[in-house]
Amino acid sequence: MTVQSDLEKAVAAAQSALGTYETFAASTLDDSAKQMFQELSGDMEHHIDILKGRLAYVTQNNPMNKPLS
């Protein structure tokens, strides 16, 4: 397993959690719970952005992705 594939899995897991939080926020009638899940969704979007940035960096700088000289 490589760092790149681990990051890809982390992004997928974070996106899944984001979807779960958004579903919870949409389906609850409790205003405080709705706010909590909306905040968690915002936090998860931030985490996904960070993970995607790191993945882009790793992908761009991975020697395995460079052409052979």
The 10s digit of each residue's pLDDT in 24-58 is 999 999 999 999 999 999 999 999 999 999 999 99
Cβ–Cβ under 8 Å, residues 58 and 49: no
The larger pLDDT score, comparing residue 8 to residue 62, is at 8
Torsion angle of C-alpha atoms 47, 53, 54, 56, degrees rounded to 10: 140
* Confidence bin at 2 (pLDDT 50/70/90): confident
The whole-number pLDDT of residue 66 equals 66
The whole-number pLDDT of residue 7 equals 96
pTM of the model: 0.85
Q: What angle do CA 46, 57, 65 make, to 5 degrees?
A: 140
The whole-number pLDDT of residue 63 equals 75
